[in-house]
Amino acid sequence: MTDPRPRQRSRIDASAAISVVDLFTVGVGPSSSHTVGPMRAARMFMESLAACPEGITCELFGSLALTGHGHATDTAILLGLCGETPEAVDPENMSARIAAIRAEAVIRFGAWTIPFLESRDLLFCKGDFLEQHSNGMRFSARMAGGETVVREYFSVGGGAVVAGETIDCAGDTAPALGHNLVQPLPFSSGVELLERGEETGLCIGTIVLRNEGAWRTQAETEAFLDTVIDAMHGSIDRGMREEGMLPGGLKVRRRAKAIHARLRAGQEGMQPAAIFEWVSLFALAVNEENAAGGRVVTAPTNGAAGVIPAVLRYYRKFVPGADREGERLLLLTAAAIGFLYKKRASISAAEMGCQGEVGVACSMAAAGLAAVLGGTNAQVENAAEIGMEHNLGLTCDPIGGLVQIPCIERNTMGAVKAINAAYLALQGDGRHIVSLDAVIETMRQTGEDMASRYKETSLGGLAVNVVAC
């Protein structure tokens, strides 16, 4: 099965203003593009209807169709049609909600009750791609009087959703939320980011904080960051407490709890390499929680949800003098780098492969850590570049369409690599041959050249060379 036409990337308008609240969102696993995005799209469609429909159909295309069952896209659509959001849905109650919807064969949205037979009304159109993006959804509502309302939505990465009427055939999406806002220190490239720093004498994290003032007060932004920080640490802690088999049929056992117990038992005689075992544990814990459909932070995607939290916990646990202000600075600096990838390329694995998920998260985390370790803006930019340079070409080939193998362990590697990148950058003075802008453009080109079977379709790579048991 092959993609019938060249896939076009969905690049956000470089002049668009992106906020940290768009980049870091608290939601549920296992996938930002296949779970979080579709849940939001389904709710958006229901909210767009003026009256209760007599019936609803949802068609899934591209990567959503090919790996949607493994990524819980069906579950997300059903919950979204019922008005749930990734931020507010109760992970502990999701299974019961889905079972009730399937048993009753109805969707309940507010006061509306709509017949919905999943086998008839939720269609996985495998092998079919909508022209604008690989993660396409088409919703149809049959209204009283014979009218049919049809709307298309695209999950463009990190849980972000774009309506069909705001995306053109060149692949450029409508500007992000806040496009018309005027930021005091705008930037759309690494060069411009460094220039803003030179002009103002501000570090990268503070530049982002000043720009967030276009939306809200500094106290409100810091409160949001604290919520994200607590959610990240919470996902690590929950992941280290849970055990058992992950859902989906691959028979993957959770390992974080046992590893945590072993590392705690050997803490007194810790060898230098044990620090990296701890970092790997932190990432493993988050991504096992994500694979189980638990509460995680999209950072910048769910498939890469463990990288930044693991580096954040490394900072808290192993860096002397670590504090909450430093944790905020780490996230703000990481966000600056994430903005550039969203504007100049994509964070969607369906477009870029896993270099657009774990690679971007590694780049973001490396920059954030370099900043809190006292790096200059040039060293921070260098750390971000190193983090991506050594993830170029990383494919997305989940076995069975599940965010488990190789995704969980891949996050551990991304976290360790981010720490290495930060310390490498701090050994220099910020001058380097390959710029961050150059490596982002290289990632974009690599993603566009990559065969579609290696981009979250489970049609190539490990997904076909390892038998899913």
> For residue range 271-293, what is the model confidence (pLDDT) as tens digits?
778 899 999 999 999 999 999 99
- pLDDT for residue 1 is more than 50: no
R_g over Cα of the chain: 21
Q: Is residue 434 part of a domain?
A: yes
**Amino acid identity at 77:** I
Q: Are 239 and 407 in contact (CB under 8 A)?
A: no
Look at residues 138, 155, 172 and tell me which one is the last residue of a structural domain: 155
Q: Are 177 and 22 in contact (CB under 8 A)?
A: yes
Q: Is residue 10 part of a domain?
A: no
Q: How confident is the model at residue 178 (pLDDT cuts 50, 70, 90)?
A: low
Do residues 139 and 211 share a domain?
Answer: no
DSSP 35: I
pLDDT of residue 9: 44
Question: Taking residues 171-177, what's their average pLDDT?
Answer: 38
Do residues 260 and 329 share a domain?
Answer: yes
pLDDT of residue 252: 96
Q: How confident is the model at residue 456 (pLDDT cuts 50, 70, 90)?
A: confident
Tell me the pLDDT of the chain averaged across its residues: 92
pLDDT of residue 173: 37
Question: Taking residues 114-139, what's their average pLDDT?
Answer: 94
Query: Which segment of 156-165, 186-195, 217-226, 367-376 scores lowest on mean pLDDT?
Result: 156-165
pLDDT of residue 174: 36
Which CATH number fits the domain that encloses residue 69? 3.30.1330.90
pLDDT of residue 175: 37
Q: Is residue 383 part of a domain?
A: yes
**Amino acid identity at 259:** I
Do residues 420 and 326 share a domain?
Answer: yes
Residues 6+ apart with CB under 8 A from 234: 295
Do residues 314 and 415 share a domain?
Answer: yes
Do residues 345 and 226 share a domain?
Answer: yes
- pLDDT for residue 421 is more than 60: yes
The first and second tokens of residue 1, run together, are 């099965």
Can you tell me the distance from the alpha carbon of 256 to that of 203, in angstroms, rounded to the nearest whole number?
36
Q: Is residue 8 part of a domain?
A: no
Do residues 202 and 122 share a domain?
Answer: no
Do residues 198 and 142 share a domain?
Answer: no
Do residues 239 and 376 share a domain?
Answer: yes
If we measure between CA atoms, which residue out of 370, 373, 397 comes closest to residue 386?
370
Share of the chain above pLDDT 90, in %: 86
The first and second tokens of residue 228, run together, are 């994200």
pLDDT of residue 13: 63
- pLDDT for residue 469 is more than 80: no
Can you tell me the distance from the alpha carbon of 413 to that of 357, in angstroms, rounded to the nearest whole number?
13
Q: Is residue 450 part of a domain?
A: yes
For 83: left if phi > 0, alpha if psi spans -120 to 50, otherwise beta; the answer is left
The first and second tokens of residue 280, run together, are 């790997």
Question: Taking residues 450-460, what's their average pLDDT?
Answer: 92
- pLDDT for residue 142 is more than 90: yes
Do residues 286 and 375 share a domain?
Answer: yes
Do residues 251 and 358 share a domain?
Answer: yes
Burial class (CB in 10 A: 0-12, 13-18, 19+), 37: buried
pLDDT of residue 466: 86
> For residue range 4-60, what is the model confidence (pLDDT) as tens digits?
333 444 455 667 899 999 999 999 999 999 999 999 999 999 999 999 999 999 999
Q: Is residue 427 part of a domain?
A: yes
Q: Is residue 19 part of a domain?
A: no
pTM of the model: 0.89
- pLDDT for residue 398 is more than 50: yes
Do residues 203 and 138 share a domain?
Answer: no
Q: How confident is the model at residue 406 (pLDDT cuts 50, 70, 90)?
A: very high
The tally of domains found in the chain comes to 2
Which CATH number fits the domain that encloses residue 194? 1.10.4100
Do residues 198 and 291 share a domain?
Answer: yes
State the residue range of the domain holding 95.
34-155
Look at residues 107, 129, 155 and tell me which one is the last residue of a structural domain: 155
Better-scored residue on pLDDT, 467 or 263: 263
Q: Is residue 182 part of a domain?
A: no
Query: Which segment of 137-141, 176-180, 226-230 scores lowest on mean pLDDT?
Result: 176-180
